[in-house]
């Protein structure tokens, strides 16, 4: 089995699923809305899904260490058009990065630190699987719940959804 080929195929599949759920956000949705006081706003969550198909893959593949400053706040999209523009701009860069990634580098360690404390120190392969792919699937599903609450129709990701049957 060609692991690199499989990782690229999986990334492409999950990017398409992310695109579907981002497109399912109702056009008139309030991006400051959140279902609970401890939840992310719709804008932050949708932006995070876009980051997980763009910024996160690039940081994982192109760097060996990320020192995060908790005071740095990501840009939060204000509407659906803005999040889709961010997503569509980032995805080709991520696809090019994984397609050009040297498979010998999957064993290189990637470190995520903040405030001098290391939170992740794992081979890039593990980071890719957990903190890029699984992370994307998790937040995409969370966004699906938001879309449902807001009255949107959910697209199928691994077969038809209840809204498509």
pLDDT tens digits, one per residue of 112-140: 999 889 999 999 999 999 999 999 999 99
What is the total count of domains within the chain?
A: 1
70 inside domain: yes
| Cα gap 59→65, rounded to integer Å | 8
pLDDT tens digits, one per residue of 84-112: 999 999 999 999 999 999 999 999 999 99
Confirm if 78 and 43 have CB atoms less than 8 A apart. Answer: yes
154 inside domain: no
Kindly report the CATH number assigned to the domain that includes residue 102: 1.20.120.450
pTM of the entire structure? 0.93
Q: Give the relative orientation of helices 3-24 and 80-99 as an angle to the nearest 10 degrees.
A: 170
Tell me the Ramachandran region of residue 151: left when phi exceeds 0, alpha when psi lies from -120 to 50, beta otherwise.
Answer: left
97 inside domain: yes
130 inside domain: yes
Dump the DSSP string for the chain: --HHHHHHHHHHHHHHHHHHHHHHS-TT--TT--SSTTSPPHHHHHHHHHHTTTHHHHHHHH-SEEEE-TT--PPPPSSHHHHHHHHHHHHHHHHHHHHT--GGGGGSEEEEEETTEEEEEEEHHHHIIIIIIIHHHHHHHHHHHHHHHTTPPPPPSSS--TTT-
Higher-confidence residue of 146 and 71: namely 146
110, 112, 118, 119 alpha-carbon torsion, rounded to 10°: -100
128 inside domain: yes
117 inside domain: yes
74 inside domain: yes
136 inside domain: yes
Q: Can you give the residue range of the structural domain that contains 138?
A: 3-149
* Joined tokens for residue 70: 């908790």
Contacts of 157 (CB under 8 A, 6+ apart): 17, 20, 21, 140
Residue 133's pLDDT is what?
97
Share above pLDDT 70 across residues of the chain, in percent, rounded to a whole number? 100
């Amino acid at each position: 089995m060609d692991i690199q080929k499989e990782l690229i195929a999986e990334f492409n599949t999950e990017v398409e699923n992310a695109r579907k759920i981002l497109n399912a956000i109702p056009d008139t949705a309030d991006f400051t809305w959140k279902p609970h006081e401890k939840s992310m706003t719709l804008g932050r969550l949708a932006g995070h899904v876009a980051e997980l198909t763009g910024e996160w893959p690039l940081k994982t593949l192109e760097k060996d260490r990320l020192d995060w400053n908790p005071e740095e706040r990501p840009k939060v999209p204000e509407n659906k058009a803005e999040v889709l523009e961010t997503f569509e701009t980032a995805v080709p860069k991520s696809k090019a990065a994984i397609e050009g990634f040297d498979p010998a580098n999957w064993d290189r360690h990637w470190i995520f630190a903040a405030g001098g404390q290391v939170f992740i120190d794992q081979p890039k392969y593990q980071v890719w699987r957990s903190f890029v792919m699984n992370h994307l699937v998790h937040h995409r599903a969370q966004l699906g719940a938001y879309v449902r609450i807001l009255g949107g129709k959910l697209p199928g990701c691994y077969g038809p959804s209840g809204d498509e049957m």
